[in-house]
Amino acid sequence: MRKFFKWFFIIFTFVFLGILIALSFYIGSIYTNALKIDVDNAKLEAPYTSIQIFDKDNKPIHEDNTINENYAEISTLSKDTLNAFVSIEDKDFYNHHGVNYKRIVKAMVNNIVARKFKEGASTITQQLIKNSHLSSKKTFERKITEIALSQKLEKQLSKDEILERYLNIIYFGNNCYGIENASQYYFSKNASDLSLEESALLAGLIKSPSKYSPVKNPENAKSRRNIVLNEMEKDGKISAEECLLAKSKEIQLNINNKQKNKLNSYSQASIDEAEEILNLPAQQIALQGYKIYTYQDSKIQSDIETAISNISPTCNYASIVIDNKTHSVVAYNGNGNYKILETKRQPGSCIKPILVYAPALNEDIIYPCTQVLDEKTDISGFSPKNVGNVYHGYISARESLSKSVNIPAVKILSYVGIEKAKKYAEDLGLEFVEQDEGYCLALGGMTYGVNIKQLANAYSTFANNGKYSPAKFVSFIVDKNGKIVYINKSHEEQVLREDSCYLLTDMLKTCSQTGTGKKLSQLDTEIATKTGTVGKPNSKQNLDAWNISYTPELTCGVWLGNLDNSPIDYTGGNQPTQIVKDFFEKNKSNINFEKPSSIVEKEIDMIELENNHRVILANEYMPERYTKKELFSIFNLPKQYSDKFATLQSPQIESKVENNKVYITFFANDYLTYQFYNGKTLLNEIENKNGEQNIILPFDEEKETITLKTFYTLNPELQDIKELNFIKSKQEKIYNNKKWYI
């Protein structure tokens, strides 16, 4: 056994040494090759540069696409500003030669414990190299290259030169590259005028510009700022009193309005998409000379901007237009303190077609004419309410969707099942978290919500016969030599049957004619629409107003709200719908929605629908007055035919005789006529009546027969005759009257 362990140890040692040597050669080769790469000073100096972006006609998009248009020299920055970045990002910056090996070892240990690449231990020099020369991929090879180039850079530039270039190239969120641009955006001031607490805020921001955004997540930003201040005090850069005073101050932002519109422009959305495609920051895209060709239609872009300007909303807003067939974003704009496409809002009732009605139609659970009882209800502890606490009794799925009634939507979701409905919505591009479980989802009650592009994309699928593909801004990208490095190829997935989409579209057309989107009824074009209004909890104020509409060719989405959740004076059926109306006035579709062969029109029995709330087909004998044409999928047709006007049976009668009078009770239908005769004498006639009827007929003979003739009012030939025979009993008088039996 000892001999076995001895040989095992020897073999293991040789194998381990072999792996170590091979790894050393591998690292050495990467390092050696990296040293051959030249450090490009032009990329380090963060010059005024821009990204060339073109529309669908290959014409330049004339929007502000500049990157790093402002530069801050280190001599103009305060010591507090410089110390804030050094204290939080690289305490040993002035002592190391580009790499901090102690931090690397510590990071490696933490990564092994976490079982993922969690920490990089990058120095300021390494961050400068990564952001100017390398991609954002977290790979071993990139890290070695980063180390080699950092050591090379330390031999070429002084520490202050490196710090200056770092501060002018690092990303601060909201399209801000460099400290001067960040200072101008967040505080509308020069970087040289930053206070201690403002400097600490910006220094803390760069670790995660989204998580620590002072606009989007002010509490996170303040907490991170205070960590920076604590580190500065620990390093002896500020006193305890200065630290305490700075930490006591609230964040005071002064957002630059020019930058607000730039953040939510079509160009910026295209740049953001290109960053994901190329895995490069915008600054490198600009420096390396890439050109971005987009799907923007300049006319449509102008039309939607004009439609919004006609309303001049006094809040944040966003609009998007998608070409349904090419799955491309042809127009987009917005206004807000940060990127609206990176923001999720509660969708309100705009989620109903996606999560409720489309799944229910596709699962053959409902027809557009299916009736649902709209009443106060409780489903698994959830008690939804309608707007104004108004309840309609039985209402069709079509009407409940077009008028955005809440109770039927919740009930239909319960028929589909929450998990199945969410799967449909996810296949249409929406995202849910673990907490999104309740029936409040039917009314748009999500933990985080959706962005306008996701919502419009889902509706575009309805117009595209159930084929889903995420809409894109970028058509193709070329490098500085004109070589195509990316071309968009959309891949469609059939999420819904085309007949289900057509039925849903037809229901949403009703919404544009008589429902909450009836402003669109004035348009001379086929259009489907859905509105949504999100109210502030326990308040009569609103937070979000939506309209998503589509023709066979285009889908247009409009959102009005405030990113800081301050209330608005708008509702979905009003201002957003007006914007959509103004837009489609100039972009009317010349074609109608194409009806698939799997859609058929059938007549249904309206008597049964109104009286018993069942959808059954009308028979050939039913007069037109009692039928209605409805659309159905051939995969989900009513299986039962009505027997009305084909057969007839007299009603059940209850009667009694008192004081020489017959008291008769029965249930009548308004499509039948009831005649009571004594011989040939007509005693009474009931027609156009529904429900329980109570009549009194004369009765004065020892033996009496009353004849009941029942017939269809519109078809008297089909009738049923029933005799009511009354015989005097031999019992004693009751209340001075004889008792009679029928």
- Full 3-state SS string of 457-485: HHHHHHHCCCEECCCECEEEEECCCCCEE
Both tokens of 40, joined, read: 């490009």
3-state secondary structure 151-198: HHHHCCCCHHHHHHHHHCCCECCCCCECHHHHHHHHHCCCHHHCCHHH
Q: State residue 178 phi and psi, 5-degree precision.
A: 90, 150
Q: What is the DSSP letter of 444?
A: T
Both tokens of 15, joined, read: 């194998």
Segment 145-151 mean pLDDT: 75
Please give the pLDDT value at position 46.
58
Of 573, 586, 478, 576, whose CA–CA distance to 523 is shortest? 586
Of 217, 222, 182, whose CA–CA distance to 200 is shortest? 222
Burial status of residue 358 (CB atoms within 10 A of its CB: 0-12, 13-18, 19 or more) = buried
Segment 519-536 mean pLDDT: 95
Question: Cα 445–450–455 angle (5° rounding)?
Answer: 110
Q: Which amino acid is at 373?
A: L
Query: How large a percentage of the chain has pLDDT more than 90?
Result: 60
367 contacts 630 by C-beta, under 8 angstroms: yes
Of 48, 67, 42, whose CA–CA distance to 283 is shortest? 67
Helices of type H across 514-601: 575-585
Residues ≥6 apart with Cβ < 8 Å to 628:
369, 603, 604, 606, 609
Q: What is the DSSP letter of 435?
A: T
d(CA 115, CA 650): 80
d(CA 25, CA 17): 12
Please give the pLDDT value at position 604.
97
Give the torsion sign (CA, 169, 334, 183, 99): negative
Residue with tokens 């001999």: 3
Residue with tokens 């705009």: 350
The 10s digit of each residue's pLDDT in 716-726 is: 888 899 988 87
Residues ≥6 apart with Cβ < 8 Å to 670:
687, 688, 689, 690
Please give the pLDDT value at position 176.
83
At 612, which helix (H) or strand (E)? helix 606-612
Please give the pLDDT value at position 664.
92
Task: Give DSSP secondary structure letters for 258-306.
Answer: HHHHHHTSHHHHHHHHHHHHHT--HHHHHHTT-EEEE---HHHHHHHHH
Residue with tokens 């009308």: 618
Confirm or reject CATH 3.20.20.140 for domain 39-48+65-252, answering yes or no.
no
Structure confidence at residue 605 as a pLDDT band (50, 70, 90):
very high
Give the torsion sign (CA, 172, 176, 177, 179): negative
Both tokens of 266, joined, read: 């079509």
Task: Give DSSP secondary structure letters for 393-428.
Answer: EEEEHHHHHHTT-HHHHHHHHHHH-HHHHHHHHHHT
d(CA 9, CA 326): 64
Residue with the larger pLDDT of the pair 42 and 321: 321
**In DSSP terms, which residues pair with 503 in a beta bridge?**
none
**In DSSP terms, which residues pair with 568 in a beta bridge?**
542
293 contacts 487 by C-beta, under 8 angstroms: no
191 contacts 77 by C-beta, under 8 angstroms: yes
**In DSSP terms, which residues pair with 617 in a beta bridge?**
604, 641
Q: Which segment, 47-51, 286-290, 596-600, is predicted with the most confidence on average?
A: 596-600
**In DSSP terms, which residues pair with 394 in a beta bridge?**
373
The 10s digit of each residue's pLDDT in 171-195 is: 888 878 889 989 988 999 999 999 9
d(CA 681, CA 704): 13
Structure confidence at residue 6 as a pLDDT band (50, 70, 90):
low
192 contacts 78 by C-beta, under 8 angstroms: yes
Give the torsion sign (CA, 91, 92, 98, 102): negative
At 104, which helix (H) or strand (E)? helix 101-114
CB atoms near residue 695 (< 10 Å):
16
Q: Quick check: 67 pLDDT over 90? A: no
Q: Quick check: 26 pLDDT over 60? A: no
Segment 403-415 mean pLDDT: 96
**In DSSP terms, which residues pair with 726 in a beta bridge?**
704
Write down the mean pLDDT value for the chain.
Answer: 87
Structure confidence at residue 424 as a pLDDT band (50, 70, 90):
very high
Please give the pLDDT value at position 337.
84
Residue with the larger pLDDT of the pair 136 and 626: 626
At 657, which helix (H) or strand (E)? strand 654-658
Of 719, 715, 741, whose CA–CA distance to 730 is shortest? 741
Structure confidence at residue 734 as a pLDDT band (50, 70, 90):
very low
Please give the pLDDT value at position 595.
96
Per DSSP bridges, beta strands 291-294 and 52-54 are parallel
d(CA 375, CA 392): 7
3-class DSSP state of 569: coil
- Alpha carbon 281 to chain centroid, angstroms: 27
**pTM reported for the whole predicted model:** 0.79
Q: Which segment, 11-25, 138-152, 444-458, is predicted with the most confidence on average?
A: 444-458
How far from 719 is each of 75, 362, 645, 711, 739, CA to CA, in Å? Answer: 104, 42, 9, 4, 31
Segment 6-13 mean pLDDT: 66
Both tokens of 587, joined, read: 């972009």
Which range among 191-200, 484-493, 679-688, 698-707 shows the weakest confidence by mean pLDDT?
698-707
Q: State residue 478 phi and psi, 5-degree precision.
A: -120, 155
At 498, which helix (H) or strand (E)? helix 498-513
> What are the b/e assignments for 538-572, b being 16+ CB within 10 Å?
eeeebbbbbbbbbbbbbbbbbbbbbbeeeebebbb
d(CA 451, CA 274): 19
Query: What dotted CATH number matches 302-366+435-585?
Result: 3.40.710.10
How far from 458 is each of 410, 557, 592, 741, CA to CA, in Å? Answer: 20, 11, 20, 68
Structure confidence at residue 545 as a pLDDT band (50, 70, 90):
very high
Query: How many Cα neighbours within 13 Å face the side chain of 354?
Result: 31
Residue with tokens 């491309």: 328
Segment 73-96 mean pLDDT: 92
Q: State residue 684 phi and psi, 5-degree precision.
A: -165, 155
Percentages of the chain per state (helix, strand, coil), in multiples of 5:
40, 20, 40
Please give the pLDDT value at position 739.
44
* Highest CATH level, class, for 654-741: mainly beta
d(CA 81, CA 183): 11
Determine the number of helices (DSSP H) and then strands (DSSP E) in the chain: 24, 25
Give the torsion sign (CA, 580, 581, 583, 589): positive
d(CA 711, CA 645): 9
Q: Which segment, 265-279, 651-665, 706-720, is predicted with the most confidence on average?
A: 265-279
